Amino acid sequence: MVEPLIKIINLSAYFGNLCVLKNLNIEIYKNEILGIIGPANSGKTTFLRALNRLNYLQANYHQKGKILLEGKDIREIKDSILRKKIGIVFALPQVLPMSIYENVAYGPKVHGLRKREHLDSIVEEALKKAYLWEEVKDRLHTPANKLSGGQQQRLCIARVLAVEPEVILYDEPCSGLDPISTAKIEEAMRVLQENYTQILVTNNTKQAARVTQRCAFFLMGELIESNATSILFTSPEDKRTDDYIRGRFG
Amino acid sequence: MKFDAKTREKLAFFILGMIALIIILPIIGVIAYIIKNGAPGLSWEFLTQPPRNGMKEGGIFPAILGTIYLILGTMVFSLPLGILAAIYLVEYARENWLTRTIKLAIINLSGVPSIVYGLFGFAMFVIFLKFGTSILAGSLTLAIMSLPVIITATKEALEAVPKSFREISLSLGATKWQTIRYCVLPYSLPGILTGTVLALSRAAGETAPILFTVAAFYLPRLPRSMFDQVMALPYHLYVISTQIPNMPLSLSFATALVLIVLVFLMNLVSIILRAYFRKKKLW
């Protein structure tokens, strides 16, 4: 039996009095791509942001239960260390108003890296892994917000890669992108699988079927079922999963 | 009489334009009037010499220098205090009764009449803390008066930076302070600068707060330390306009002109700085 990289035990999450995640139990294994599907308002994003404690940026957030990273409760890990280990790519491509280079170098810099040559090589490598290097190598020092949406989203992936995380979270990374940009991001995810554990929240069930090995279906804050993607998409145990996948609701 | 929509729109634009024009008329009037009456009184001697002969001759150099010292002193005390307080309120403080009280206090402070600040400064700094009538006491009084404006301007500038910048920075593992230092301050700096310079230029022209705390009626020698009194332009203007009989009017207007130019120069500096930072950082 393989030990899971992340183990979530009885996780419930609340914004004020509103319960958005109900008693969730799920395990995430090293080097897999876990898909999380479900209609809007089912707690997918909250779940994702619970993993690196980003939910706590909202004043009225609180949660119950435990999240273990490599057997260690994440509450015992400093936020900055935890977020270095678990990076996130947001739904909308959001770049900082700096140059392409500075966007990627930002993470390593705040973690104390100052040497120019070292930063250069990290930036280059991260951009290559995110399939962006060829398109931007001649204009690294131009403003990042001049890039197209798809390029910006790959820049966001490069930015996360630059801090050398173990886990990458994607919060509907392709929701605003064209099919070709989407394909590039999916290709990057497949290659990254060799070294990273990835969790993909998506509204696009076809994308989940294409990229993920395991998939979990969320509905109204509850985990309805999780299984190998091939099984979940062909013979789901729960009728609600079947309905959602077949597009009867959601 | 009936107009069609197009004519009515034209009429409305014309009226709105006229109203906007009325707003700039007073400022043009004030400046033109002061320049017309003050320019003849200006000379190199006026700008570089102390007053002589019961202030009816000579220059206003000690008052110019005094006002510059007061601006610098005010800046030293109010900038760090105001900007750091605003950073605390926007970035760190959670919404509770204490922060609500602080915010209420700031709003109320900005409504206090300047003469009350003057009286407070006199009681607090001149008498209680034994600074005497001095640059120190005057600067502190002006600083307290400027604080609400500086805090409010800084708060607005900080709040104008999109939440997503902070989220990105924190999600990459930056600490709270790193996030503020690299992702918030650089983009709010133009707004902070504009607000603070505006507050300082207002402080430069105030008479009431310096009346009891620093301003000297007549002191031709230059100050030797921050515990010295100085002359200051606004108070000097008040003195020569009302307290001295047979004062040549051109000297009063020349003094007013110097004060206005000083304030405009400060605003110009802020505009240039803002343009510079805007060009450097775009989003």
**What pLDDT shows up at residue B274?**
82
> Which string of DSSP letters, residue by residue, matches B212-271?
TTTB-SS--SPP-STTS-B--HHHHHHHHHHTSTT--HHHHHHHHHHHHHHHHHHHHHHH
**What pLDDT shows up at residue A5?**
92
A7 in any annotated domain: no
A21 in any annotated domain: no
Give the count of alpha carbons within 13 A of A52, CB side only.
29
A198 in any annotated domain: yes
Alpha helices in B214-248 (DSSP H): 233-242
**What pLDDT shows up at residue A105?**
94
The one-digit pLDDT tens for each residue of chain A (250 residues) are 678 899 999 999 999 999 999 999 999 999 999 999 998 888 999 999 999 999 998 889 999 999 999 988 999 999 999 999 999 999 888 899 899 999 999 999 999 888 999 999 999 999 999 989 999 989 999 999 889 888 999 999 999 999 999 999 999 998 878 888 899 899 999 999 999 999 999 988 889 999 999 999 999 999 999 999 989 888 888 888 888 888 876 5
For residues B171 and B192, give the distance between their C-alpha atoms in angstroms, rounded to a whole number: 26
Cβ pairs bridging A and B (under 8 Å):
66
Nearest to B173 among A94, A107, A143 (CB): A107
**What pLDDT shows up at residue B1?**
63
Contacting residues of A for B178, CB less than 8 Å apart:
110
Query: Are the beta carbons of B172 and A110 separated by less than 8 Å?
Result: yes
**What pLDDT shows up at residue B283?**
47
A12 neighbors A28 (Cβ within 8 angstroms): no
ipTM given for this complex:
0.90
Residues on A contacting B at a C-beta cutoff of 8 Å:
52, 54, 57, 59, 79-84, 87-88, 90, 94, 96-97, 106-107, 109-111, 143, 145, 159-160, 163
Nearest to A83 among B95, B164, B172 (CB): B172
**What pLDDT shows up at residue A1?**
60
Q: Are strands A214-219 and A222-228 parallel, antiparallel or unpaired?
A: antiparallel
Which residue does chain B place closest to A96, by CA atoms? B165
**What pLDDT shows up at residue B5?**
87
A11 in any annotated domain: no
**What pLDDT shows up at residue A40?**
86
Token pair 């300082």 in the structure block, residue = B200
Q: Does B4 touch chain A (CB under 8 A)?
A: no
A168 in any annotated domain: yes
Phi and psi angles of residue A164, each rounded to the nearest 5 degrees, phi first: 50, 65
For residues B26 and B32, give the distance between their C-alpha atoms in angstroms, rounded to a whole number: 10
Of B283, B253, B250, B269, which Cα lies nearest the Cα of B71?
B269
Contacting residues of B for A74, CB less than 8 Å apart:
none
Nearest chain B Cα distance for residue A238, angstroms: 35
**Residue A18 CB contacts under 8 Å (≥ 6 apart), including other chains:** none
A225 in any annotated domain: yes
The one-digit pLDDT tens for each residue of chain B (283 residues) are 677 888 999 999 999 999 999 999 998 999 999 999 999 888 888 898 888 887 778 889 999 999 999 999 999 999 999 999 999 999 998 888 998 999 999 999 989 999 999 999 999 999 999 998 899 999 999 999 999 999 999 999 999 999 999 999 999 999 999 999 999 998 898 889 888 998 999 899 899 999 889 888 888 888 888 888 889 999 999 998 888 888 888 889 999 999 999 999 988 988 888 888 777 665 4
Query: What is the side-by-side strand order in the sheet with A222-228?
Result: A86-89, A167-171, A197-201, A33-37, A214-219, A222-228
**What pLDDT shows up at residue B223?**
85
Query: Are the beta carbons of B168 and A110 separated by less than 8 Å?
Result: no
Query: Are the beta carbons of A106 and B173 separated by less than 8 Å?
Result: no
State the CATH number of the domain containing residue A159.
3.40.50.300
Q: Which domains does chain B have, with CATH numbers?
A: 40-280 (1.10.3720.10)
Nearest chain B Cα distance for residue A240, angstroms: 34
> How many domains are there within chain A?
1
Nearest to B187 among A79, A97, A110 (CB): A97
| Structural domain harbouring A189 | 31-56+80-245
Q: Please return the burial class of A194, using the count of CB atoms within 10 Å of its CB with bins 0-12, 13-18 and 19+.
A: exposed
Q: Please return the burial class of B221, using the count of CB atoms within 10 Å of its CB with bins 0-12, 13-18 and 19+.
A: exposed
CA angle A194, A200, A205 (to 5 degrees): 120
Which residue does chain B place closest to A94, by CA atoms? B164
Query: Are the beta carbons of B173 and A54 separated by less than 8 Å?
Result: no
Which residue does chain B place closest to A77, by CA atoms? B173
B interface test, pick of A89, A100, A110, A152 with most B CB neighbours within 10 Å:
A110
Count of other CB atoms within 10 angstroms of residue A56: 14
Contacting residues of B for A94, CB less than 8 Å apart:
164, 167-168
